[in-house]
Amino acid sequence: MTNLDASLALSQRLDIEVSKERLSNYFTTTVEGTVSVSKPSSLEELMEILSENQRERIPFIPYAPGFEYIFQEVDSEFSMIVDVSNLDRIVDVDEDSRVASIEPGVTFESLQNAVGKKGLRVLTSVEVPKSSSVLWTYTELSPLYSWPRYGTEPVLTMNVLLPNGKLVKTGAGALPNSGKPYSPIGPPFTLLGRMWYGSQMTLGLPVRGYIKLKTAHESNIVRFFKFDDFLSLSKFLAALKRLRIGEEILAVTPLELGLILSDKADKIKTTSYPNWLLILVMRGYEEEVAYQKRDLLQEARKLGVKVLDEIEGQKNSAAKILKEIQSPTWMSRARTYQGGRFSISFIAEDKKIPDLIQLVSHLDNFSSFVLPVDAGRSHCNFAFHSRSEGRKQSIPDELKKIVPELIEHGAFFSRPFGFLSEMVYARNKPYHKLLKQFKQDLDPNNLLCRGRLGI
């Protein structure tokens, strides 16, 4: 019996729905194929599937809504997709502590709706469509954030399902009586609460997360700033950081801006846009935003930067941005622009970003957005769009050639997806060795996401 057959057979044995589907329904992949898909509707079912997979040695890969965006390329070294979309309970929303307890199937959209009623909001990242899993986006794309004010840890604690089907609760969750396990520290070995971040689901599956919610403010204001070059933008950012202005901050190239603003991607006209546009959202009580506006104006004047309420020639741009942040749709459009989008994300020092752009800007329909994640450091997303089938094949190859150069010039791929992992870990051997050791401990049969990260 093949692995595929074995996994399909689970269906009868466990009384859990397992179907046969096309791989490309789940992941962007160049590998065509058929896989079995199990769709547990409770944690217990999921645990059963995992134990069963261990027993039958069935390699499997988890899927949650939005993962097609995160994993742009997957190996086919598995025979079952474990789709957690149905684990979509919002278990609790604690208004005192501003924490939601959620399962991985819960999407940004559903959670935003649920907490909005209580005067709270979910931190979103503009990069991630509203239909994506909150929990797995937070852990997988961490620290993907455009909200510098709130730091890098949107998940407080988690319950993680290990490849062997056992459940581990992190942070305060490991303590008894923890009905509200919000503290990520507490028991020794804080690593056990952190190592799942960025693990590309190779070590275990977060099945419950206690995530931070923020107050939905009465006053939400957007401001725009135009820059000819990235370095002057970065200088301005440093000043904003010191003043702590800006709940969400995002810098975009003309094409990226077009993709954000336009409902119809293919009609974008970018000629009137500046080289770099900085978008800044201020939130708070009216009085609070009022003083921030004054601080902002003062600082902008000092640096000779003009503060714009709207993008010139774009009516309602501020409102559009707010809506987009509350409920991001842009990436779903961007992915169809010119027929397809290829992108890579990394961290770089601001001063190195212009050089990095130089290395790739010749590629098809280059666009970029940059999230200023920390002082002098940004998360960069470089994207390329192409309609031609030929290019669709060759852009990835070209990227493979360019990435080493990007790394040489200061790009740090903290989330080495797909082909990147080999390149990155070749430079981080001791780190990789330790990861392999941990993986071996957690998943001795290497069933979960086999092949990913080279561990």
Site residues for another protein, window 178-197 (CB under 8 A)?
178-183, 185-197
- Judged by CB under 8 A, which stretch of 10-18, 36-44, 162-170, 268-276 contacts another protein? 162-170
Count how many Cα atoms sit within 13 Å of the Cα of residue 213 in the half-sphere of its side chain: 30
Asked if 392 interacts with another protein (CB under 8 A), we say: no
Residue number with CB closer to another protein (212 or 391): 212
202 binds another protein per the rule CB under 8 A = yes
**How far apart, in whole angstroms, are the C-alpha atoms of residue 121 and residue 109?**
11
Among 13, 57, 166, 269, binds another protein (CB under 8 A): 166
Stretch that binds another protein, among 16-24, 30-38, 169-177, 391-399 (CB under 8 A): 169-177
CB closer to another protein out of 73 and 153: 153
Cα–Cα dist 159/103, whole Å: 10
Q: β-strand 155-161 against 120-121: which pairing, if any?
A: unpaired
Q: Residue 300 has what DSSP assignment?
A: H
Supply the minimum distance, in Å, between the C-beta of residue 61 and another protein: 16
Taking residue 190's Cβ as centre, other Cβ atoms within 10 Å add up to 13
- Report d(CA 7, CA 102) in Å as an integer: 28
Contact 445, 162 (CB under 8 A): no
The one among 50, 407, 447, 449 contacting another protein by CB under 8 A: 407
Which residue in the set 172, 249, 318, 395 belongs to the binding site for another protein (CB under 8 A)? 172
Q: Which tokens in the block code for residue 371?
A: 């999230």
Q: Shortest gap between Cβ of 203 and another protein (angstroms)?
A: 6
Q: Minimum CB separation from another protein for residue 366, in Å? A: 24
CB of 418 to another protein, least distance (A): 12
The reply on whether position 412 binds another protein by CB under 8 A is yes
CB within 8 A of 289, min separation 6: which ones? 217, 219, 220, 221, 282, 283
Alpha-helix runs per DSSP H in 335-427? 353-360, 389-408, 420-426
User: Closest Cα to residue 210, out of 128, 97, 129?
Assistant: 97
**Tokens describing residue 454:** 């080279």
Choose between 339 and 410: whose C-beta lies nearer to another protein.
410
**Are 384 and 403 contacting, i.e. CB atoms less than 8 angstroms apart?**
no
| Shortest Å, Cβ 183 to another protein | 3
Separation of CA 348 from chain center: 17
For residues 115 and 255, which CB has a smaller minimum distance to another protein in the complex?
115
**Residue closer to another protein (CB basis): 91 or 319:** 91
Using CB under 8 A as the binding rule, the residues of this chain from 5 to 64 that contact another protein are none
Burial 374-405 (b: 16+ CB within 10 A, else e): eeebbbbbbbbbbeeeebeeebbebbeebbee
CA pair distance 238, 241, nearest whole angstrom: 5
Mark the segment that binds another protein (CB under 8 A) among 129-137, 259-267, 325-333, 411-419. Answer: 411-419
CB of 140 to another protein, least distance (A): 11
| Closer Cβ to another protein, 96 or 263, answer by number | 96
- Interface with another protein (CB under 8 A), residue from 13, 22, 55, 242: 242
> Locate tokens 């502590």: which residue?
97
Cβ nearer to another protein, comparing 31 with 434:
434
Name the one range near another protein by CB under 8 A: 1-9, 221-229, 300-308, 427-435: 427-435
Q: Phi first, then psi: give them for residue 249, nearest 5 degrees.
A: -135, 140
Binding residue (CB under 8 A) for another protein from 74, 126, 421, 443? 421
- Determine the Cα–Cα distance for residues 312 and 275; give it in Å rounded to an integer: 14
* Residues in 92-131 at the binding interface with another protein, rule: CB under 8 A: 94, 96-99
Residue 413 within binding range of another protein, rule CB under 8 A: yes
Choosing from 89, 214, 226, 400, the residue that interacts with another protein (CB under 8 A) is 214
Instruction: Write out the binding residues for another protein, residues 251-280 only, by CB under 8 A.
Output: none
Cβ–Cβ contacts within 10 Å for residue 304, how many? 8
Give CA–CA dist 253/273, Å, rounded: 8
Q: Which residues are bridge partners to 209 per DSSP?
A: 102, 158
Q: Write phi, then psi, for 377 (nearest 5 degrees).
A: -130, 140
Distances from the Cα of 389 to the Cαs of 340, 342, 392, in angstroms?
9, 13, 5
Q: Is 291 in the site for another protein (CB under 8 A)?
A: yes
Closest contact distance (angstroms) between CB of 190 and another protein is 4
Give the residue with the Cβ less far from another protein, 33 or 151. Answer: 151
Q: How many residues bind another protein (CB under 8 A)?
A: 96
Residue from 121, 320, 415, 450 in contact with another protein (CB under 8 A):
415
Q: Cα(443)–Cα(50) distance, rounded to whole angstroms?
A: 11
Q: Which is nearer to another protein, 391 or 432 (CB)?
A: 432
Query: Is 425 among the residues that bind another protein (CB under 8 A)?
Result: yes
Among 17, 56, 75, 349, binds another protein (CB under 8 A): 349
What's the min distance (Å) between Cβ of 344 and another protein?
A: 14
Q: Which residues contact 191 (CB under 8 A, 6 or more apart)?
A: none
